[in-house]
Amino acid sequence: MKTFLVMAVLFVSATAHGQAALKLPEASPAATVAQTIGLTDVTVVYHRPAVAGRAVWGKLVPYGEPWRAGANENTTITFSSDVKVGGKPLKAGTYGLHMLPTAKDWTVMFSTMALAWGSFSYDQKEDALRITVTPKPTTTSEERLSYRFDDPSDTKATLVLSWEKLAVPIAIEVETSKIAMASIRQQLRGPAGFTWQGFSQAATYAFRNGPIEEAVKLVDRSIAINPTYQNLSLRASIVEKQGNAKAAAELRARAQAMASENDLNQTGYRLMSEKKVDEAIKMFQTIAERFPESWNAQDSLGEALAIKGDKAGAIAAYTKASALAKDPVQKKRIDATIVRLKAP
């Protein structure tokens, strides 16, 4: 009995000092929202207060005073690489996100102190960045505060705080090509740097997004490991862009000589996706001539001719494909296509 009383006293004492606090549902539940922009991860961790019938702007959230942009602990935002926010540079890292609301424009603050409780100890001297944004009224009311990312792309997205009948947009931009090229250089120092595929993929990205001089070096490294249809074709495209049409034609001829049917077929569909239908038709015609027993070559040619609007040519190609096809499922699909093309 004496032992029990001692334990009870110790328990009451520990509880009074907060050492045995129970975890219960929070009035403002925790939430996380994240978005990848290119290769950059942006993550917001926050708590979601409710309107609960209260007047929010200028009342619950006073004008002219720093606000934690959420509830409970600091709202935090993390960038995995350097970004621009509101057009201004901000280094990679985790920041306490605070806002200074007014009846018109707001100031958004990114504080190097990300571990505080609310904005009670907020100090402007700890700001890494301040920007000005203009909130927008909304037609519907948001009961609980939320964050979302609008219109994400490879290079930008808009982080939006939405609560009650107000939306606060924060523009985020990323130099994705610069970050990607830095990542590629690092990756090529690992296993990818021992394969022609790794250098070919790197060269393709550099050709489309980076300095063409680096694309040349990368594709030449790929060819040195193993000349293939893919890297020789890429080298041809680079040479053509540099203005040497003769060298480009020679490289393409060399590439096609070693290409598989699938290699050429993929090129044809890439040309179609780029709206280069005439070039795609020529490619599919080349495949059909080189692989005369291939139903797939005629099938692809028929598809390209149909897109071009050459109904008679498409029907002829599909008819050859049907005659060559051995798979009953493919034959049935091709025959149905012919019927549709012949319909008035």
Q: How many CB atoms lie within 10 A of CB 20?
A: 11
| pLDDT at residue 23, as a whole number | 84
Tell me if 307 sits within 8 A of 272, measured CB to CB: yes
**Residue spans of the chain under pLDDT 50:** 1-16
Could you read off the pLDDT of 175-214 as tens digits, one per residue? 999 999 999 999 999 999 999 999 999 999 999 998 899 9
Could you read off the pLDDT of 30-70 as tens digits, one per residue? 999 999 999 999 999 999 999 999 999 999 999 999 999 99
In this structure, the dihedral spanned by the alpha carbons of residues 289, 293, 297 and 301, taken in order and rounded to 10 degrees, is 70
Cα 47 to Cα 74: distance, rounded to the nearest angstrom: 9
| pLDDT at residue 118, as a whole number | 86
Could you read off the pLDDT of 153-165 as tens digits, one per residue? 999 999 999 999 9
Domains of the chain: 25-174 (no CATH), 177-342 (1.25.40.10)
Q: How many CB atoms lie within 10 A of CB 268?
A: 25
Q: How many CB atoms lie within 10 A of CB 342?
A: 9
Could you write out the DSSP letters of every residue in 194-209? Answer: GSHHHHHHHHHHHHHH
Hey, is 117 helix, strand or coil? strand
Determine which helix (DSSP H) or strand (DSSP E) holds 53, and give its type and residue range: none
Hey, is 52 helix, strand or coil? coil
Tell me if 287 sits within 8 A of 297, measured CB to CB: yes
Tell me if 176 sits within 8 A of 194, measured CB to CB: no
Tell me if 40 sits within 8 A of 79, measured CB to CB: yes
Residues contacting 17, CB < 8 A, separation 6+: none
| pLDDT at residue 150, as a whole number | 97
Largest CA distance in the chain: 101
